[in-house]
């Protein structure tokens, strides 16, 4: 590899280890790509000095003849602005945390560092990860590199765009209700939410703790496997972390005999025509590769969005109580009393969507309403989980679209929170059930004469079946070329 290609993590790491490129030249190329794509608003804060210092330290390690170089040696990884890297600004897309610098590093970021990666903070996001379009960021929306008047999806908007625009080969985001899979689908990249508990949440700013999972973006499933093998595995700093070894790539040579479950509920009238066509074409391809498709039923998925917005907001109202002007970020004095200071800080610091969720979450947990809302939502959550357990008796993997539509126009859904919430109808069930799920590109479609935009294919597996799920998706990807499509509006600006 002579040209610097910032789209392939495995090849890039190989090139740095073999001395074809220095880590510093790779870091400089990524920083230049951030500059060249500044108009996409994918990054909130980038501090070049620590990035270059890190790269030089890696070059020194290589020059000293170090024997064991990590599997991500010299690879730049963009971090969503809710993942802690000691001393680097982390604002969660919120004015409330503007200028906040965490005193410690998230476990996933520690593991990236141990593997030789070059973390680059911090990518743009919906405020506190609440949103499906990036438009809830206090620092302006991120643009979709396929067509700038369209949203890249959210809430991990900047991380998805960093990978789609060829700025970094890998990025981390967080997926609470689809915030990695949905923007991956809308930007034409691959994104993977592991089984709940396989990746540590220590150092991820909490939104809905029983749903949140740190999740990577890459241009291929192969690279998702590579980064997952680094960041996953037990962590004693996270009490919900599963006692399982890191995710490793599993062998799988073909798809013959694979039972692919198709949930009726995910193929109903709500699907845009172009999305349906692309997904059905991929199902045809799966069959031609030897898979058999079987109908499965997830009858409670009709309640998934409602259940999610009770559980997630309840947890958010509790998690966000810590932002009170005392411990983190910004402070407004208000009337000078303690309560007045807290109220003024939260009034000025939080945006409308965050306030809406805190109100909703506080309501569903309040005395007299708790059983009717929160208690009931928890019971429906169990029913959703049981639907999947039954479905996986009949199939090995469930396949459906990731998002019912392709990317929508900026501003199109901002006035209607419910329309925005319905963007997640196909992704939230996997979070409620804690299951591993990924989105991979499956072609492009145009709606109403608009531009060709990516469509995502979603793969959902049984709990703890991360390795087998990734192997199936990789096998499909190795036999197709959907993941090689590059967004037209980032072609000229990517450095070589």
- Restricted to residues 297-326, the positions that interact with ligand GLN (CB under 6 A) are 312
Q: Is the peptide bond before 67 cis (omega within 30 degrees of 0)?
A: no
Q: How far is CA 162 from the centre of its chain?
A: 12
Q: Residue 439 or 477: which CB sits closer to ligand GLN?
A: 439
User: Which one among 76, 119, 166, 178 touches ligand GLN, defined by CB under 6 A?
Assistant: 178
How many other CB atoms sit within 10 Å of the CB of residue 328?
17
Restricting to residues 152-171, name those near ligand GLN by CB under 6 A.
155
Near ligand GLN by CB under 6 A: residue from 176, 195, 241, 477: 176
80 part of the active site:
yes
In the complex, minimum distance from the CB of residue 368 to ligand GLN, in angstroms, rounded to a whole number: 25
318 catalytic? Reply is no
Binding mask 111-130 for ligand GLN (x = CB under 6 A): ------------------xx
Binding to ligand GLN (CB under 6 A): which residues in 396-455? Answer: 424
Residue 262 and residue 397: Cα distance in Å, rounded?
Answer: 9
Would you say 413 and 158 are in contact if contact means Cβ atoms under 8 Å apart? no
Q: Give the residue, chosen from 76, 93, 116, 131, that forms a contact with ligand GLN under the rule CB under 6 A.
A: 131
CA distance 456 to 460: 13
Q: Containing H/E element for 275?
A: helix 273-288
Most distant pair of Cα atoms in the chain: their distance: 70
Q: How far is the CB of 309 from ligand GLN (least distance, A)?
A: 7
Shortest gap between Cβ of 51 and ligand GLN (angstroms)? 26
Using CA atoms, how far residue 360 sits from 209, 289, 355, 364, 379, in Å, is: 17, 47, 9, 6, 19
Per-residue contact flags (x/-) with ligand GLN for residues 187 to 216, judged by CB under 6 A? --------------------x---------
Distance (Å, whole) CA 268 – CA 5: 40
Per CB under 6 A, the list member of 37, 105, 124, 132 interacting with ligand GLN is: 132
Q: Are 132 and 155 in contact (CB under 8 A)?
A: yes
Q: How many residues bind ligand GLN (CB under 6 A)?
A: 14
The CA-based angle 259-260-264, given to 5 degrees, is: 135
Cβ at position 100, least distance to ligand GLN in Å: 19
**Could you tell me whether strands 170-174 and 214-218 are parallel, antiparallel, or unpaired per DSSP bridges?**
antiparallel
Using the rule CB under 6 A, is 177 a contact of ligand GLN? yes
Catalytic residue among 132, 137, 179, 241: 179
Q: Which two tokens stand for residue 212?
A: 């949140």
Task: Give residues in contact with ligand GLN (CB under 6 A).
Answer: 129-132, 155, 174-179, 207, 312, 424
């Amino acid at each position: 590899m002579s040209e610097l290609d910032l789209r392939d993590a495995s090849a890039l790491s190989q090139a740095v280890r073999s001395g074809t490129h220095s880590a510093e030249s790779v870091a400089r190329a990524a920083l230049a790509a951030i500059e060249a794509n500044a108009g996409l608003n994918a990054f909130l804060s980038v501090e070049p000095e620590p990035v270059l210092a890190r790269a030089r330290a890696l070059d020194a390690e290589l020059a000293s003849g170090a024997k064991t170089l990590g599997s991500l040696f010299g690879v730049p990884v963009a971090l969503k602005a809710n993942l802690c890297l000691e001393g680097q600004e982390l604002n969660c897309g919120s004015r409330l945390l503007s200028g906040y610098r965490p005193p410690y590093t998230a476990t996933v970021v520690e593991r990236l560092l141990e593997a030789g990666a070059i973390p680059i903070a911090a990518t743009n996001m919906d405020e506190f990860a609440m949103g499906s379009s990036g438009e809830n960021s206090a620092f302006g929306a991120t643009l979709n590199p396929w067509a700038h008047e369209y949203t890249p999806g959210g809430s991990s908007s900047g991380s998805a765009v960093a990978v789609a625009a060829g700025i970094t080969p890998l990025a981390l985001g967080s997926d609470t209700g689809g915030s990695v899979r949905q923007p991956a689908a809308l930007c034409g990249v691959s994104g993977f939410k592991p089984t709940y508990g396989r990746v540590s949440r220590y150092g991820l700013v909490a939104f809905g703790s029983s749903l949140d999972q740190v999740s990577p973006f890459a241009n291929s499933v192969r690279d998702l496997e590579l980064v997952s093998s680094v960041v996953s595995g037990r962590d004693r700093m996270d009490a919900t972390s599963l006692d399982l070894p890191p995710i490793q790539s599993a062998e799988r040579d073909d798809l013959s005999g694979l039972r692919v479950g198709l949930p009726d509920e995910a193929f109903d009238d709500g699907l845009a025509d172009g999305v349906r066509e692309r997904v059905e074409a991929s199902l045809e391809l799966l069959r031609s590769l030897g898979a058999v498709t079987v109908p499965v039923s997830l009858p409670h998925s009709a309640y998934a969005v409602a259940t999610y917005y009770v559980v997630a907001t309840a947890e958010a109202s509790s998690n966000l109580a810590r932002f009170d002007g005392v411990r983190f970020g910004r402070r407004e004095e208000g009337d000078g009393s303690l309560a007045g200071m807290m109220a003024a800080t939260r009034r000025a610091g939080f945006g409308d969507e965050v306030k809406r969720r805190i109100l909703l979450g506080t309501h569903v947990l309040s005395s007299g309403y708790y059983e009717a809302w929160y208690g009931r939502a928890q019971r429906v959550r169990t029913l959703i989980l049981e639907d999947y357990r039954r479905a996986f008796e009949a199939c090995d993997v469930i396949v459906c679209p990731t998002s019912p539509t392709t990317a929508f126009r900026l501003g199109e859904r901002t006035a209607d929170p419910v329309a925005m919430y319905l963007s997640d109808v196909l992704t939230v069930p996997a979070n409620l059930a804690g299951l591993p799920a990924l989105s991979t590109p499956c072609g492009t479609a145009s709606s109403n004469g608009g531009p060709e935009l990516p469509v995502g294919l979603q793969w959902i597996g049984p709990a703890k079946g991360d390795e087998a799920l990734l192997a199936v998706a990789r096998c499909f990807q190795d036999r197709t070329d959907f993941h090689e499509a590059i967004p037209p509006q980032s072609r000229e600006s990517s450095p070589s």
